[in-house]
Copies of this chain bind each other. A is one copy, B any other.
Amino acid sequence: MTSSTIAFHPSLNLRELVARRVPGYSLEAPFYTSPAVFDADMEHIFGKHWIYVGVSIDVPEAGDYMTVQIGSQPILIVRDDDNEIRAFHNVCRHRGSRLCAEEKGTVGNLVCPYHQWTYDLTGKLIFADHMAEGFDLSHHSLKPVHVRNMSGLLFICLADNPPEDFDVMAEAMTPYIAPHKIDDCKVAVQVDIIEQGNWKLTLENNRECYHCTANHPELTVSLFAYSYGFAPKAETAEGLRQYDEMVADRHQHWESCGLPSTEVERLSDVTGFRTMRMPLDRAGQSQTLDTKAACKKLLADFKDASIGGLSFWTQPNSWHHFMADHIVTFSVIPLTADTTLVRTKWLVHKDAVEGVDYDVENLTAVWNATNDQDRRLVEESHQGAKSSAYQPGPYSPYTETLVEKFSEWYINRLSAGLE
């Protein structure tokens, strides 16, 4: 019972565990099951990297706020009166009460419910009654959290000195994402699910489509199986060649319309990411059950729905699909070693009318089904990882290369954190 023994002993040597990782194989069990590793993940991965948490239009107007919880950290994101998006620790400087308990709201100032200490939207304490004479308001501002708004995608970093290569990602990605104009969208639907499994199993699941054919009947309607990276076989060689030609052709077409589409892969960066626009199968318009646009009112100034799907993946916690009619965006928030929150938001044009331009059921059908299927796969993997019989198994060098890149990134970043 090696894994459980390690998990229960505080003497677990994490550095050793990191050092002996074998490339090309899944991680050792404690990475998925040990509370001690989970603590290290929260400290070194989620505490020191850029974490995707939501979209600009979660807080569309001055005074709008949203809250997110990263591990034990309650975070508050507000749009201030100058329209700037700011993030703070959601903790009063008096006796520590959370300032905002709701997930979203609108305020003039931030007033603590306990004793009415009041902060303006830049985090400055502007009122605290009954304090001692020398009490200095300016020493009790809310503690800020780094936040970046990349064409409408919001990333926060809990570290004092966030990774500087966010700029590299922003420069590379802005031309891809900006045309979809998130600021002109609204969040049509948000769904939170909790998976009974470690967050890294959620990410690994997301980084391959080896499992798609057998598990995702709804999702695969709009996907070309040629894009899954299957092992080369004689009988599929000609089909694959034609597919690659078609993709090259579409990329050329989309780029000529001002939509950058070719792959960018920087998954080994500290702020690791990858993007690519891929054609969709059949009607080719959207990740829907009938592969047609789910929303009549297209995003931005798109005239043609046939622009495929722009996918964007970040390390450690997000993925996104941008289509002509809607955007679906996912953030993964670890809760414990054994449980993970997956938050999915569907965005449509802000002027689209529910029931007229789009139907919520139709908009969300594919990914609600897919999320639930993935949840089950993650949970089954987590149960297996707890067994003493579990040992790291080999990744496919064809269909699981991006899983390997995630695992490698994770190990490198954890290793850097432990130095």
Task: Spell out A's residues near B (CB within 8 Å).
Answer: 1, 3-5, 8-10, 26, 29, 35-36, 39, 42-43, 47, 71-74, 89-98, 101, 113-116, 129-132, 135, 140, 143, 158, 204, 210-211, 214-215, 230-231, 376-377, 380-381, 383-391, 393-394, 396-399
Whether B95 pairs with A132 at a CB distance below 8 angstroms is: no
Partner of A97 from the list B1, B5, B36, B384 (CB cut-off 8 Å) is: B384
Partner of A211 from the list B101, B115, B393 (CB cut-off 8 Å) is: B115
10 contacts between A and B (CB under 8 A): A5-B39, A8-B36, A89-B389, A94-B393, A96-B381, A113-B376, A114-B215, A115-B211, A140-B393, A143-B389
Q: How many copies make up the complex?
A: 3
A89 nearest in chain B by CB position: B389
B residues near A381, Cβ cutoff 8 Å = 95-98, 114
- Distance in Å: Cβ of A348 to nearest Cβ of chain B: 33
A101 nearest in chain B by CB position: B380
Whether A394 pairs with B114 at a CB distance below 8 angstroms is: no
- Distance in Å: Cβ of A259 to nearest Cβ of chain B: 31
Most buried by B among A3, A36, A384: A384
Whether B10 pairs with A113 at a CB distance below 8 angstroms is: no
Q: With A98-B383, A381-B95, A393-B95 given, is the CB distance from A399 to B4 under 8 Å? A: no
B residues near A113, Cβ cutoff 8 Å = 214-215, 376-377, 380
Most buried by B among A231, A391, A396: A396
Q: With A74-B383, A143-B389 given, is the CB distance from A231 to B129 under 8 Å? A: yes
Whether A132 pairs with B92 at a CB distance below 8 angstroms is: no
B residues near A43, Cβ cutoff 8 Å = 1, 4-5
Whether A39 pairs with B73 at a CB distance below 8 angstroms is: no
Partner of A130 from the list B9, B384, B389, B398 (CB cut-off 8 Å) is: B398
- Distance in Å: Cβ of A216 to nearest Cβ of chain B: 12
Closest 3 CB pairs of A and B: A89-B389, A96-B384, A72-B386
- Distance in Å: Cβ of A228 to nearest Cβ of chain B: 9
Q: With A74-B384, A130-B398 given, is the CB distance from A92 to B4 under 8 Å? A: no
Whether B215 pairs with A73 at a CB distance below 8 angstroms is: no
Q: With A4-B39, A387-B73, A393-B96 given, is the CB distance from A380 to B130 under 8 Å? A: no
- Distance in Å: Cβ of A371 to nearest Cβ of chain B: 16
Whether B98 pairs with A384 at a CB distance below 8 angstroms is: yes
Whether B98 pairs with A130 at a CB distance below 8 angstroms is: no
Whether B4 pairs with A389 at a CB distance below 8 angstroms is: no
Beyond known contacts A4-B71, A130-B230: 15 more, CB 8 A cutoff: A1-B158, A8-B35, A9-B10, A26-B96, A72-B386, A72-B387, A73-B389, A89-B388, A90-B384, A91-B387, A96-B387, A96-B390, A114-B215, A116-B214, A130-B399
Q: With A114-B211, A132-B394, A399-B130 given, is the CB distance from A388 to B73 under 8 Å? A: yes
CA distance A20 to B42 in the complex (A): 27
A117 nearest in chain B by CB position: B393
Whether B231 pairs with A47 at a CB distance below 8 angstroms is: no
- Distance in Å: Cβ of A202 to nearest Cβ of chain B: 13
CA distance A29 to B5 in the complex (A): 22
Whether A388 pairs with B72 at a CB distance below 8 angstroms is: yes
